[in-house]
Amino acid sequence: MALLEVQNLEVSYGVIRAIKGISFEVNEGEIVTLIGANGAGKTTTMQSTVGLIPKKSGKVTFNGQDITKIPCHKVVHLGMTQVPEGRRVFQELTVYENLLMGAYSVKNKKADFKADIERVYERFPRLAERKNQVAGTLSGGEQQMLAMGRALMSRPKLLMLDEPSMGLSPLLVDQVFDIIKEINKDGTTILLVEQNAGKSLAISDRAYVLENGKIVLSGTGKELSESEMVKKAYLGG
């Protein structure tokens, strides 16, 4: 059984049907990507899957449990979280306090928390250097690292990342994709949403192409990066 299974998901904003009945699944251990242009409905899909915005219809199953009607904060306790688009770190809190917020859902002992935070600092040495700095003063790249570290603090089985490469320099983009691969290798399943189709398909086991609220194509990362349609629309010829 898939770790995450989304069936016939529909989402509307008023009369506008943003997501028109899509189905996809993410198996344990995979990196799965949704690619698509601006406005295709990628972020809406992510946010409604995790329960941040209401679904009009459809069914979402996570780890064998029906989470269609479960509010976001409870879904996080079940082991699924998201690095939101635009990072959305808590600007007024320090790096350390942001990571503390990340561990909000984890009922653990002090020692476990220490181990978790050390692991995050190890993965993102920059965060360790700046742990007492207020997050609002970090650079865009550092904020992305913090948003990812914060999400990892909740010990997710499934980590969703919404446009993690947005607005970053090419060097940082490569770094972010390397880190995603590492996180996956360490046992976290990844659902990625990206406009950077080339880079994300290269690290994906499978991918779906989203256009105007519908899935128009799916396959392995390799298949999609070789598909004429994807090449033309998303990889620049």
Partner 1 sequence: MDLLTIIINGLSIGGIYAMIALGYTMVYGIAKMLNFAHGDIIMVGAYTVVLLFTTSPTVGIISALVLCVLVGIIVEKAAYRPLRGASPLAVLITAIGVSKLLQSAAQIFIGSEPKGLTLNLGEIRLGSLHISVLTLLTILISVAVMAGLTLFVKYTKMGRAMVAVSEDRGAAQLMGINVNSVITVTFIIGSALAALAGVFLLFKSQSVDSTFGAMPGIKAFAAAVIGGIGSIPGAMVGGVVLGFIEAIFAATPLRDYVDAIEFAILIIVLLVKPTGILGKKRREKV
Residues that bind partner 1 (CB under 8 A): 47, 50, 52, 71-74, 76-77, 81-82, 84, 86-93, 97, 100-102, 104-105, 136, 138-140, 143, 150-151, 154, 166-167
Question: Between 47 and 227, whose beta carbon lies closer to partner 1?
Answer: 47
Question: Between 7 and 90, whose beta carbon lies closer to partner 1?
Answer: 90
Question: Between 138 and 176, whose beta carbon lies closer to partner 1?
Answer: 138
Least distance from partner 1 to the Cβ atom of residue 16, Å? 17
The answer to whether the beta carbons of residues 235 and 197 sit under 8 Å apart is yes
Q: Compute the distance between CA of residue 187 and CA of residue 166 in angstroms, rounded to an integer.
A: 25
Least distance from partner 1 to the Cβ atom of residue 51, Å? 8
Count the residues in the chain: 237
Least distance from partner 1 to the Cβ atom of residue 101, Å? 5
Least distance from partner 1 to the Cβ atom of residue 232, Å? 28
Between CA 24 and CA 175, with CA 30 as vertex, the angle to 5 degrees is 115
Within 10 angstroms of residue 132's Cβ, the number of other Cβ atoms is 9
Residues facing residue 221 across a β-bridge? none
Q: Compute the distance between CA of residue 161 and CA of residue 148 in angstroms, rounded to an integer.
A: 8
